[in-house]
Amino acid sequence: MSKILKINGLEKTYESGSKKLTVLKNISFEVAKGQTFSIVGPSGSGKTTLLGLCAGLDKPDAGTVELCGHDLSALNEDERAQLRNKEVGFIFQNFQLLPTLTALENVSVPLELQGSNNAAEVAKTLLEKVGLSDRMHHYPSQLSGGEQQRVALARAFSNTPSILFADEPTGNLDDETGEKVIQLLFELNKEAGTTLVIISHDLDLANRTQQILKLKGGQIVTNQTTATF
């Protein structure tokens, strides 16, 4: 099985005043194409920093990231952005919808920016799949947290990404709403054949993925296959 994400010897250090804080130390792992993969650990363990490095949103101090066959260190900022636009989807804890756009526009605008001729149709189909056919013309402020996250789900899958990073996708939702969002996430992911990388502190959620990487203090504690695989 080919690898869509290869991480080797990643290090990341931040300077805080006169002190240096090592956030990640010697991180190495691989994610297979089409796999569901979770990165778990307590707050401050380096999960979100690692996600940023994996997606090329930030640069490591040492080590390499190979994403969709591209060595990110060999790409400039514009080239990394182009790669993300083409290959990567994101879901965030705080939804990150544009408040002045309707649900339909939030999903269709990324497609329009890529030159799609049928952006609105694709957006409508995705919003129907996440159960929002009657909320397409509502603005984020008119939607519940769960509805906003479902719009974000539709948007994340709109460009048929090769890999999708979900950072604490249920972090701002109650348990029942969060469960519905996770079910939709896995359903859409299976249908699209996307590689899914979930960042979470929720072990129950992590156990639904095929591989779990546990971080603590910026280092890998375990990297194990689950019974799901």
| 85-137 pLDDT per residue, tens | 889 999 988 899 999 999 999 999 888 888 888 999 999 999 999 999 999 99
Q: What are phi and psi of 107, to 5 degrees?
A: -85, -35
Domain boundaries, the chain: 35-60+84-225
Q: What pLDDT, in 10s, does the model give residues 153-176?
A: 999 999 889 999 999 998 888 889
* HSE of 27, CA atoms in CB hemisphere, 13 A: 34
Write down the pLDDT at residue 228: 56
What count of other Cβ atoms lies within 10 Å of the Cβ of residue 73? 13
**Comparing C-alpha atoms, which of 48, 47, 85, 218 is closest to residue 163?**
85
In CATH, which of 3.40.50.300, 3.30.360.10, 3.30.70.270, 3.30.1330.10 is domain 35-60+84-225?
A: 3.40.50.300
Q: Please, are residues 3 and 30 in contact by the beta-carbon 8 Å criterion? A: yes
Question: How many residues are listed for the chain in this entry?
Answer: 229
pLDDT band at residue 146 using 50, 70 and 90 as cut-offs: very high
Write down the pLDDT at residue 225: 87
Distance CA 177, CA 20 (A): 40
CA distances from 160 to 20, 135, 156, 183 (A): 40, 22, 8, 18
Q: What pLDDT, in 10s, does the model give residues 3-54?
A: 999 999 999 999 888 888 889 999 999 999 999 999 999 888 899 899 999 9
pTM, to two decimals? 0.92
Write down the pLDDT at residue 159: 85
